[in-house]
Copies of this chain bind each other. A is one copy, B any other.
Amino acid sequence: MTNNNAPIHRMDQAVALESLSNDRWQGQTSARYANMIGPFGGTTGATLLNAVLSHDELLGEPVSLTVNFTAPVADGHFEVVARPVRTNRNSQHWWVEMVQDEKVVAFATAVTARRRETWESTELPFPQVPQASDLEGFAREGRPSWTRNYDMRFVDGELLGTPNPDEPSLSRVWVRDEPARPLDFVSLSALCDAFFPRIFIRRPKLVPIGTVSLTTYFHADQQQLNEAGSDHVFGSARSNHFGKGFFDQSAEVWSRSGTLLATTHQVVYFKE
């Protein structure tokens, strides 16, 4: 299935890891995914997940991923260490850390599991919104480099635009990797951090911010990600509360055909 002549997608370059031992890798930040300061958090988390998925002892597929951003990641080299904390018959719990200058700049915990067919129900309704092809692309001029790796088509709640009157922190947006790339757990985990900080939508005003902790629950298995392919996915993101230096935000990510792929939550530091 591999086309050796195809160029490596920029996402795969950004999360690439070179093995140093069975649970240790080295990598480097990608200028293409640069944020205001350091790399886009989505690629940092995706790199940590990539270490889990590259580990010889991996069991199953990702169910849950929590990434903590402990300090600014410096541009350049880093090491990643991943170890299974506990392996059960059908599930596995992981610890992963990213290290620069012998200090932990980000860490993650993850759960992977063998998924089985069970009773199934999606309670959340799939939103009725215009298709991506009927919407204009997000104007990325003047925005951080990482935004150029996503094709975003906003239904509402555009960055620094006019907030939705009913839910002023809400954004509804179609997103895919740019250039288009088949969805996998790595790219989906990064995309879950591609919804802008809600405070930029809600106020709407740029203030210093930084995600502190990001949790993603994967509802889809690999087969469902294959079905989503390289098409746009639909995301709906909003905040519950801003105050005392932190706000939370939650988002849902759907395939175009209405499969709920992931739900994701984060708590973000802000100033002012």
Nearest-Cβ distance from residue A164 to partner chain B, whole angstroms: 11
Contact-residue size bin, chain A (C-beta under 8 Å from the other chain)? 35 or more
Residue A238 at the B interface, CB < 8 A?
A: yes
**Are B123 and A267 within 8 A (Cβ)?**
no
Given contacts A123-B238, A267-B64, contact A244 B86 (CB under 8 A): no
**Are A93 and B120 within 8 A (Cβ)?**
no
- With a cutoff of 8 Å between Cβ atoms, the chain B residues found around residue A91 in the complex are 212, 269
Within residues 120 to 143 of chain A, which ones have a CB less than 8 A from any CB in chain B? Answer: 120-124
Taking CB as reference atom, which chain B residue is nearest A213?
B64
Within residues 215 to 260 of chain A, which ones have a CB less than 8 A from any CB in chain B? Answer: 215, 217, 219, 221, 238-246, 248, 250, 252, 260
**Are A267 and B122 within 8 A (Cβ)?**
no
- With a cutoff of 8 Å between Cβ atoms, the chain B residues found around residue A88 in the complex are 70-71
Within residues 50 to 94 of chain A, which ones have a CB less than 8 A from any CB in chain B? Answer: 63-64, 66, 68, 70-71, 85-86, 88, 91, 93
Given contacts A267-B111, A267-B217, contact A123 B241 (CB under 8 A): yes
**Are A252 and B272 within 8 A (Cβ)?**
no
**Are A263 and B240 within 8 A (Cβ)?**
yes
Give A213 to B94 CA distance when docked, in angstroms. Answer: 12
From B85, B121, B240, B270, A70 is in contact (CB under 8 Å) with B85
From B113, B117, B241, A124 is in contact (CB under 8 Å) with B241
Best-surrounded residue of A71, A203, A219 (most CB of chain B within 10 A): A219
From B116, B250, B271, A250 is in contact (CB under 8 Å) with B250
**Are A120 and B243 within 8 A (Cβ)?**
yes
- With a cutoff of 8 Å between Cβ atoms, the chain B residues found around residue A212 in the complex are 63-64, 91, 111, 113
- The list of the 5 closest CB pairs from A to B, nearest first, reads A120-B243, A70-B86, A115-B244, A124-B240, A64-B213
Q: Please list the residues of chain A having a beta carbon within 8 angstroms of any beta carbon in chain B.
A: 63-64, 66, 68, 70-71, 85-86, 88, 91, 93, 95, 97, 103-104, 107, 109, 111, 113, 115-124, 167-169, 202-203, 212-213, 215, 217, 219, 221, 238-246, 248, 250, 252, 260, 263, 265, 267, 269-272
Known: A122-B243, A265-B265. 14 other contacts (CB 8 A): A63-B213, A66-B66, A71-B86, A85-B97, A93-B104, A111-B212, A118-B242, A122-B242, A123-B168, A123-B241, A215-B265, A240-B263, A241-B263, A250-B263
